[in-house]
A and B are shown apart, each in its own frame.
Chain A
Amino acid sequence: MNTVLKVFLSMSLSGSLLILALFAAGRLWKDKFSRQWQYYIWLAALLRLLLPLGPETSLMGKTYQAIDRAITQSSPLPVWPNTPELSSVSGNQSPQISQSSPTVESVPQNADNPAETSSAGHSFRDIAPPLVSRLWLVWLIGALILLIRKITIYQSFIQYIAAGSSPVSNTKLLDRLSLIAEQIGVKGPVELCVNPLISSPLLTGFFRPCIVLPSLEIPERDFQYIILHELTHYKRRDMFYKWLVQAAVCLHWFNPFVHLMSREITKACEFSCDEAVLVKMGRDKAQEYGKTLLDAMASVGKYKEFLGSVTLAENKQLLKERLGAIMKFKMTSKKLKTLTSLLTLCIVLSASFIGIYPMKNSVDAMETLRTADISSLSLNIINASVNVLSAPKNEKIHAEFSEAIYKVDIFIDAQKDEWTVSVSSKANPKNETVTLYLPDISYDNVKLNVNTGYLDCGNFKSGNITGNFNMSYVLLTLPEGFAGSVDAAASGCFQLVSKDDFKNTSASIATSGECVISKPQSFKKNGNTYTYTEGSASNVIKITQSGSCMMGIHTSDTSDFLDFSDQWDFANLWKNGELKEDSQTEPQPKSNDSEQAEKYYQSGSLPLFQISFFHLDKEAQEKWMDRIYTDDQIAFWGAAVDFLDEDCGLVQRFAEKTYGDSNISYFSVLANRMSEKTLERYLDKSLKDGKWAFQSVLYNLLDRKDEFDEQEKKKEKEWAEALKAQYQAAGVTMIDEKNYYYQGQLVDIFLDQRTNQSFYTLNMNPAGTVNIKILRNANDKITGVSYMTKAEIEELFGDMED
């Protein structure tokens, strides 16, 4: 979203809150406080609406950021996990896992999950930019049209007034006017005109005031009050106030509260002007003044006066209120004055602290970027945690971060089209993350340098990505349709995800000694190098291990378990140097690793647990897997299985166990670490045992999905026929799978409910005449058929309505 629009919307919202507060409080002070004050207090709301200034820490700032994040990052299209069985299981797991499956719980934070970010990014990229840019335009055009309309109406009104006006040449009247002007302290000449076309006296002109009277045939006293009233308007610069209000109305035209406020201010303006006149005249003149107002109203209705000029009498309802107020008028006491000034302070402070969308916390690149350009980007991260999200094409690079902890510099070399973003930390980042928004354009060369940091990015659709990851945790996701190359040297932990399963890619991974690698089966091992070639091989991926490293190469299928949300303890990575020790020195003694594994298991830190788990020996690993299985922690299960050798003893043992328990979700995780031979063995087994879910998973992994579908169809048919036969035996005939007949009559409601409540057949045929249900015993054997009672039917449909 465009920052200007965001700031503006937040101004509108804050303003509205203030307007509402003033309206609510207005009832309290209506007759108590000075009208003058009631009029000017609206300036607080007005300035809140017009000035984009706010303190750094404001009441609403956080809220706006949260709203913003929710809007920017929530994905309109849910990302379904690979197998439906998994999603239902993960829903019951620890919070990190439910975050990874947006189908279960779509909280805004889940955008931190890399797997989702990239896909959310896709849909957002496709839909949002035209929508947002249009929104901006709609707002701007609306505001401009309104403003121009108001100005032209005002001008034509002024012309209309001027055309019919003739200057008053009666020096006596002019003299009286100048005496009053002097009396209330108006300097400079005041023009006096007569215009029979208007209905009530009014004042025009910003700097050269002109009072226009409908006629000169008015009593001397009325003349005095009218002039006094209009000159008071002039002296207080009410015209400017009114136009300020009009400006706010134009800019916030979509906000009904602003329109309400405008009406209220017009009212308050007259009230306070009356009050000011009476302060000058004294309390005893109230009645006479009221009478003048009435007389001025006598001929109302000739011309609809415009909002921009200040008239004496606006309308009858208002007049009534004004007369009431005039009669109640009393001088303000000193006590009340103190109270009002205190209240003013409160309101002004709250107006500024209610805040707006915080701009201070973000850095924008100063130059607007050319949208379609191909640019080079260099991202340097030192001791920092950075989450890269994509911004719409026409936006600038910008970053959101806590200033106390991070330092972010963005340089743009417009001539070379080179952008450099440097992120470093001033203090221990703890769990604070920098969110960096990069415009969604094509990039040419992308240099990623991460030094003991954390980086999660997945929005480079193209480009030559060069990575230098030193003892860092890096998750690089290549979106679908990625075209380009990756050349990375990594130590620490490096995870690469290809959303389109390395389509048209030639990949080579060179490892040396101390390396843990998890990779798809299709990657062929050749000494210390793993290679993979597919299609045109136009995308080149080259990864070199530059120190002790844990590597994960993932396809879209296996990336589901990657979840490095902000819960992971970033501080440990560099501050305590635990990862450094882990990887730079020889493997730690066992006891230490298992202690650490315990610690990370308890704190729910998946990646660190994974590292510790890897260092454990087989025996300890087995114990851990037993424990994870018992604790039902599927995410940890995934992390543990990730680095097991193919078909190793642990895989075999737990495969047997999970198969025996029919625990499909745990089994399917293990299946990723099985050879084709083992998979085929289990497929045969599951076919024999009739385990459908297992067959589905295994067929899928063996790329024999078609066979499964065929099998499934066959099975379904068989099953349907068996059921038909069963019904037939109970006296129910089924024709065309839709029409049921019982004792020669067509059935309307047909209900067959198994003892297992979750599975039942319900068929309805409005043409039918009888309602029946199948009776089953505890073993699901059909025992008979009975007619359904009215109560039963009601119960059935009552449930459905719920």
Chain B
Amino acid sequence: MVQQISDAELEIMKIVWGNPSKVTLFPYIMDRLASRGKPCQKNTLIVLLSRLMNKGFLSAKKIGRRNEYTALVSETEYQTAQTKSFLNKIYEGSAKGLVSTLISGDLLTSDEYEELKRLLEEGKGKQ
């Protein structure tokens, strides 16, 4: 089961997920946080990273004096897990409710709507 993480922690995870290379280094996260306008202290980042490791989101490999961080949970996995819990919490597990809210609340652009429709058709074909 994927655990809940705080906003600050998610911020870090996004940086790790967004990193094209397989492993992420400490200075890279520091830089990205600063460029996203959320700079933090070194120690703070260490604490947050260790929390993420405890929760099973990251693994660290020590090479010399530097840590190489790898994501153990992919962004999709995380999104699926979060959506599931969101669905359960708000719509009592009904995806239909979610989609209808998306449509009736004007939360989808027409492009997104068309693509969703196509995805649905494909899904039907598969079944």
Contact = CB atoms under 8 A, between A and B. Distances in A.
A631 B8 CA distance: 104
Nearest to B38: A171
Given A169-B7, A169-B8, A181 B43 contact: yes
B8 A177 contact: no
A30 to B, nearest CB: 37
B44 interface: yes
Contact of B43 (A167, A169, A189): A189
B118 interface: no
A294 interface: no
A400 to B, nearest CB: 57
B6 A178 contact: no
A174 B42 contact: no
A179 B8 CA distance: 18
Q: Specify which of B42, B47, B51 lies most central, judged by the most chain A CB atoms within 10 Å of its CB.
A: B47
Nearest to B11: A171
Given A169-B6, A169-B7, A174 B43 contact: yes
B38 A189 contact: no
A169 B44 contact: no
Contacts of B51: 167
A582 interface: no
Interface in B1-51: 6-9, 38, 40-44, 46-48, 50-51
B3 to A, nearest CB: 12
Contacts of B7: 169
A721 interface: no
A177 B6 contact: no
Interface residues of A, number: 16
A582 to B, nearest CB: 85
Interface in A173-197: 174-175, 177-179, 181-182, 188-192
Contacts of A188: 46
Contact of B47 (A179, A182, A191): A191
A190 B41 contact: no
Contacts of A181: 43
Contact of B41 (A167, A170, A175, A191): A175
Interface string A179-217: 101100000111110000000000000000000000000
A18 to B, nearest CB: 41
Interface residues of B, number: 15
B41 A189 contact: no
Nearest to B54: A167
A679 B47 CA distance: 103
Interface string A266-277: 000000000000
A61 B46 CA distance: 54
Contacts of B40: 171, 174-175
Interface string B44-73: 101110110000000000000000000000
B9 A177 contact: no
A189 B46 contact: yes
A190 B8 contact: no
A335 to B, nearest CB: 39
Q: Specify which of B41, B43, B50 lies most central, judged by the most chain A CB atoms within 10 Å of its CB.
A: B43
Contact of A190 (B9, B38, B43): B43
A754 B43 CA distance: 101
Contact of A171 (B42, B44, B46, B50): B44
A192 B8 CA distance: 14
A280 to B, nearest CB: 18
B44 A175 contact: yes
Contacts of B46: 188-189
Given A167-B51, A169-B9, A189-B50, A177 B38 contact: no
Nearest to A192: B47
A179 B42 CA distance: 9
Contacts of A169: 6-9
A436 B8 CA distance: 75
A192 B51 CA distance: 11
Contacts of B43: 174, 177-178, 181-182, 189-190
Contacts of B38: 171
Contacts of A177: 43-44
B11 to A, nearest CB: 9
A167 B41 CA distance: 17
B50 A179 contact: no
A214 B7 CA distance: 22
Nearest to B42: A178
B36 to A, nearest CB: 12
Nearest to A173: B44
Contacts of A189: 43, 46-47, 50
B104 to A, nearest CB: 34
A174 B41 contact: yes
Interface of A: 167, 169-171, 174-175, 177-179, 181-182, 188-192
20 contacts: A167-B51, A169-B6, A171-B38, A171-B40, A171-B44, A174-B43, A174-B44, A174-B48, A175-B40, A175-B41, A175-B44, A178-B43, A181-B43, A182-B41, A182-B42, A182-B43, A189-B46, A189-B47, A190-B43, A190-B47
The 8 A-B pairs at the shortest CB distance, nearest first, are namely: A178-B43, A169-B6, A178-B41, A174-B44, A189-B46, A175-B41, A189-B47, A171-B8
Interface of B: 6-9, 38, 40-44, 46-48, 50-51
Given A174-B48, A190-B43, 19 more contacts: A169-B8, A171-B38, A171-B44, A174-B40, A174-B44, A174-B47, A175-B40, A177-B44, A178-B42, A178-B43, A182-B41, A182-B42, A182-B43, A188-B46, A189-B43, A189-B47, A189-B50, A191-B47, A192-B47
